[in-house]
Amino acid sequence: MRQFKTGLIASIISIIFISSSFSQQMISPYSAYGLGLMSEKGFVSNNGMGNAGIAYQSPWFIPALNPALLGSQRFTSFEAGLSLNQNNINDDVTRYRQINGGLKYVGIAFPIIAGKYAISFTLRPLTTKNYDILRKSSDRLNDPQAEETKFSGEGTISQFSFANGWNITKNIAVGAEVNYNFGTLTDRTVYQNIINGADTIFLPYLVSTEFSDQYSDFSFTLGTKFMKQIGKNFLSVGATYDLQSNLKTSRNSYLQLLSTAETPLRPETDEDLFLDNDSAGITVLPQKISFGISYMKPNSWAILADVSYQDWSQYSSFGVSENSFQEQIKLNFGGEFTPNVESGSKYIERITYRAGLNISNGPLVINGNSINSFGITFGSTLPINKISNINLAFEVGQRGTLLDNLVQENYLNFNLSFTFNDRWFLRRQFD
């Protein structure tokens, strides 16, 4: 108990100092579309198994992908995750490398009735936007246009979740999750000079337009799990359903004149800089359905597979749909193996080893090309005492294509988390 509290306090203090790093997410030109890149919901133990785990239950970790799995929670668990990302962005001519990272998530779970009913609280990013694109005009015979246009954007929508799971019977569980989504995403365009026919009009300033959207609303997830014991092994089937979310959105639009160093020529408080102030609208996130299956021997090995479907063509913002989105299917496969969890002499035998892969089509479609992604993952769990641990996960992946002047991203993700488990709220019988 004392070790748990010490670790918990140390982790919370560390998180206070690094919490601002939620915004330091991977730079990707593909995050310019819609709400940006959706973050993986799973914790580091899931990351090491191809981000699978809708039907996977372990007593040593907080279940993140299916609230119904909480019903089997027996420990009070606290987990904090960090990430470090490297993204190599390539086109036909250039190559750009970018490295960043920071806080990935924070979660805590409590068994109200051990092995029967439990709740959890989690803070994590839902989606991130981080891009910087430069486009130069190549057609001097077109209508008047900017000689050079710079597109940039940043921001994070965070998600604070309250989940609860209940084991109705030994084999059947249900759960529900309430998420509060909040954050700001900003898209900015800066224009330099004007091309009119064969002439270039040089301007002593830059023209900037900016759209800043603030989000704040709830979303909901339902989950269920069915488990069957087969000899000493367990077969589990799980499903989750994310209801369609209608996020309240407030938009501020700006028009500014900037110096060539991109500093405002007028104070930002000038009212005439606003094109529109606090315009109210709705951003629609489409519903999502996911299924998972796992076959495992507890504390020894597990094999997992998940599939999810989400029709992103139903996405809209302020009543406007985007034709850059399509239906998305994601496949996640993984497994883990622990040589001997009870080994007292060989620490290496108590380490859990993981591997997996994930495949996704889209949901972006640009110039008729689906922006697909593929990743291979590896991971492990290093026990630090009988019930707490350190978790590691690596992912090597690729996103995008070089066709039609698009870009291809080759990324490497490293994830680290600390899980502290203890038994709270139990009356001691003896001292």
Least confident of 105-119, 185-199, 229-243: 185-199
Q: Which residues pair with 254 in a beta bridge?
A: 210, 274
Tell me the CATH class for 2-422.
mainly beta
How far lies 195's CA from each of 152, 227, 355, in Å?
22, 66, 53
Residue of higher predicted confidence among 167 and 93: 167
pLDDT for 380 equals 97
The two three-digit tokens of residue 69, written as one number: 């799995």
Mean pLDDT of 274-291: 89
Q: CA–CA separation, 303 vs 337, rounded Å? A: 9
What is the DSSP pairing of strand 389-400 with strand 373-383?
antiparallel
Averaged pLDDT for residues 52-59: 94
Looking at per-residue pLDDT, the higher value among 12 and 412 belongs to 412
Structure tokens at 373: 């992604």
Which residues are CB-contacts of 307 (< 8 A; sequence separation ≥ 6)? Answer: 290, 291, 292, 329, 330, 331, 332
Cis preceding-peptide flag for 363 (omega within 30 of 0): yes
Q: What is the mean pLDDT of residues 156-168?
A: 96
Residue 166 has pLDDT above 90, yes or no: yes
Q: What is the pTM of this model?
A: 0.89
Contact assessment for residue 47 and residue 40, using Cβ atoms and an 8 Å cutoff? yes
Summarised one tens digit per residue, pLDDT across range 8-50 is 555 555 554 444 445 456 789 999 999 999 999 999 999 999 9
Q: Exposure of 300 by Cβ count < 10 A (0-12 exposed, 13-18 middle, 19+ buried)? A: middle
Closest-CA residue to 283 (of 211, 224, 231, 353)? 211
Report the pLDDT value the prediction gives residue 22, as an integer from 0 to 100: 52
Among the listed ranges 148-157, 314-323, 345-354, 422-431, which one has the minimum average pLDDT value? 422-431
317-337 as b/e: b if 16+ CB within 10 A: beeeeeebbeebebbbbbbbe
Q: Which of 200-214, 340-354, 381-395 has the lowest mean pLDDT?
A: 200-214
3-state helix, strand, coil in the chain (%, to 5): 10, 60, 30
Find the farthest-apart pair of alpha carbons in the chain and give their distance in angstroms, rounded: 90
Tell me the domain boundaries of the chain. Answer: 2-422
Tens-place pLDDT, residues 300-316: 999 999 999 999 999 99
CB atoms within 10 A of CB 198: 7
**pLDDT surpasses 80 at 324:** yes
Q: How far apart are the first and last CA of the chain?
A: 14
- Mean per-residue pLDDT of the chain: 88
Judge whether residue 271 has pLDDT over 60. Answer: no
Nearest to 130, CA basis, from 252, 26, 20, 212: 26
Look at residue 430 in the predicted model and tell me its pLDDT: 45
Q: Which residue has the higher pLDDT, 72 or 343?
A: 72
Token readout for 253 is: 């639009």
pLDDT at res. 43: 96
* 3-state DSSP assignment of residue 272: helix
pLDDT at position 16: 47
The predicted-structure confidence for 396-405, as pLDDT tens digits, reads as follows 999 999 998 8
By mean pLDDT, which of 258-262, 283-287, 355-359 is the weakest?
A: 258-262
Question: How does pLDDT run across 62-90, given as a tens digit for each residue?
Answer: 999 999 999 999 999 999 999 999 999 98
Residue 161 three-state SS: strand
Based on DSSP, count helices (H) and strands (E) in the chain, helices before strands.
Answer: 2, 21
Nearest to 119 by CA among 171, 182, 161, 56: 161
More confident residue, 276 or 419: 419
**Above 70 in pLDDT, residue 285?**
yes
> What band does 386 get if pLDDT is binned at 50, 70 and 90?
confident
Q: Which amino acid is at 81?
A: G
At residue 312, φ and ψ (nearest 5 deg) are -75, -5
d(CA 60, CA 418): 11
Confidence of residue 57 (pLDDT cuts 50, 70, 90): confident
DSSP assignment of 235-259, as one string?
EEEEEEEE--EEEEEEEEEEEEEE-
Asked if pLDDT for residue 334 goes beyond 90, the answer is: yes
